[in-house]
Amino acid sequence: MEHQFGSVHFNAIGPYLKNTFHCRTAKLSINGGFTCPNRDGTKATGGCIYCSPDGGGHFASDIEDQIRLLSGKWPNSKYIAYFQSYTNTYAPVAVLRKKFEEALSAPDIVGLAIATRPDCLPPEVIALLSELGQKTFLWVELGLQTIHDTTAQLINRAYPLSVFDEAYQRLREAGIPTVIHLIFGLPGETRTDMLSSVSYVGEKEPFGIKFHQLYVMEDTTLSRQMREGSISYSSMTKKEYIDLVVDALELLPPSVTVHRLTGDPPEGTLLSPSWCLDKRSVLNGIQKEFKTRGSFQGMCYSPKRPSL
């Protein structure tokens, strides 16, 4: 069957950015010095059970250092400043404006990507993001992970699905592109549960999506719970994960850009599953499965018809 994505079978963000900026465009992971409301006690403590002490920003570093390293490998590239660690709208607007504008002033930065929580987007922050979005290429990333509130409570996400829905709608009304994160393999979730999260997100037709397998790292609540026996968790095999990702992409609208297909844990702290460290094998496996099926992103997508 024919599809529109060339050799990759899905709407990858890399080619999208290259078409937008007419050159290779890479993301630079930044730690903006923020924290999180379910770490500091505002909503909860300890963070999500899988979250590492660095708030998910394993590879974040200084912008200039990253540009210096990458410019030799990719001459004439442009860059997206990606505020990755913790919750990057969890601060007063004046602080956010200063950090975001400083990032935009760095050489060859052509846009911003801002990872945050849906309960950290008050009207004044959305107004700032909308203002910046008129000046530069910008998207916001929301860590939904699952649509199931029972799972959300188990992982200590500290907000219900309704909060996500409201934040997503406010971002959409403000014209701010949104990328949604989903995690596959959360404790207690079945394949049907995971794909229902995908379908729910697909119906919203966001700008982009990120998929991530649940992996266990040292110094996380999840690793402690597993040692104590207070939580039951069994990781997916690589084949199960590959099949699930292809199933998920088949369900999504073809317009949704795909920003991540697999997690990228730091080797020194990973406990399981070990196959996460072979990222290239996972990505190749996804491509191979698409070819085997003769399928592509959106092949099984069916837009929800509005009720009359």
Q: Which domain holds residue 154?
A: 13-209+254-262
8 A C-beta contact, residue 205 and residue 171: no
**Residues in CB range of 156: below 8 A, 6 or more apart:** 38, 44, 46, 47, 48, 49, 221
Domain count, the chain: 1
1 located within any domain: no
186 located within any domain: yes
Domain of residue 86, CATH code:
3.20.20.70
Q: What is residue 234's predicted lDDT score, i.e. its pLDDT? A: 86
Q: Each residue of 85-121: pLDDT tens digit?
A: 899 999 999 999 999 999 999 889 999 999 999 999 9
Whole-prediction pTM: 0.93
42 located within any domain: yes
64 located within any domain: yes
105 located within any domain: yes
202 located within any domain: yes
- Could you tell me where the DSSP H helices lie in 105-190? 123-135, 149-154, 161-173
293 located within any domain: no
Separation of alpha carbons 262 and 269, rounded Å = 17
Q: What is residue 260's predicted lDDT score, i.e. its pLDDT? A: 97
Q: What is residue 2's predicted lDDT score, i.e. its pLDDT? A: 55
Q: What is residue 110's predicted lDDT score, i.e. its pLDDT? A: 96
Residue 116 host element (H or E): strand 109-116
205 located within any domain: yes
Separation of alpha carbons 133 and 174, rounded Å = 10
Residues of the chain with pLDDT under 70: 1-2, 54-61, 305-308
Separation of alpha carbons 110 and 201, rounded Å = 27
Tokens at residue 198, please?
């995908």
